[in-house]
Amino acid sequence: MSVAAAAFIVAGLFFFFVGVIGILRLPDFFTRLHAAGKCDSLAAELVIIGVALYVLRDFNLGNLLVSLKILMIALFIFVASPTATHALTKAALFAGVEPWQKGKKKS
Amino acid sequence: MMERFFIFAATFLLLLILLTLIRVVGGPTVLDRILGGSVVGSKATVLLLFIGILYDDLGMFVDIALAYAMLNFIATLAAAKFFLRKRNVNLSEFE
């Protein structure tokens, strides 16, 4: 059980790393938002599921309750993170942030 | 063994938070800062779970992490809603 948990956590940390590279390197706000959305939902989900598996390594009722609560965090992030990303995109679009195009200067 | 693994994971996550702070400080628009704050918040939620495992008291830290995730979500939504009607988001226009 704890090997599976470690595998989930390492995969999640890898996706966090990729997301941070995307946030630092991509050329405009919308592409950065794309990277951040991946980083938020996918990586956080993987790490949280890994932690929930790690809690269940010795099984009793208290640990099951804690594990279910951790899965509640995962469910909440799964709903909330795309909503936040969508709200930010809408704000950027209405505020007139220009999307990056291929020939233009990098901002 | 697992203890050391979680210490390494938490340190790596802290390093990623520091790298994200570069975008929070120097982003060209205000929305970049909100985005960086949101990402730091979601990383901090995960970090709180790691701290709970390291202190062997996960039942308490889970509630803190859940409250932190909710606060982060509300803060991001409120900031996005505020700048939806502000019209100027470039940092250079504020100076």
ipTM of predicted assembly, 2 dp: 0.86
Please tell me the distance from the alpha carbon of residue A49 to that of residue A96, in angstroms, as a whole number. Answer: 38
Selected residue with higher pLDDT from A50 and B91 = A50
**In this structure, how many other beta carbons lie within 10 angstroms of the beta carbon of residue B78?**
12
Nearest CA in chain A to B60: A66
Mean of per-residue pLDDT scores for chain A:
87
What tokens does B95 get?
Answer: 């100076």
The answer to whether the Cα torsion of B18, A91, A28, A97 is positive or negative is negative
A73 with B73: Cβ contact below 8 A: no
Mean pLDDT computed over B30-46: 89
What tokens does A53 get?
Answer: 């598996």
What tokens does A6 get?
Answer: 């470690």
Phi, psi of B90 (to 5 degrees): -75, 135
Interface of A with B in 22-61 (CB under 8 A): 23-24, 29, 32-33, 36, 39-40, 44, 47-48, 51, 54-55
What tokens does A37 get?
Answer: 């959305």
Q: For the packed helices B58-84 and A61-95, what is the interaxial angle rounded to 10 degrees?
A: 10
Domain boundaries, chain A: 2-94
pLDDT tens per residue, range B52-70: 999 988 888 999 999 999 9
pLDDT at residue number B91? 65
B46 with A47: Cβ contact below 8 A: yes
Report residue A95's pLDDT band, with 50, 70 and 90 as the boundaries: confident
What is the percent of chain A with per-residue pLDDT over 90, rounded to a whole number?
35
> What's the pTM?
0.87
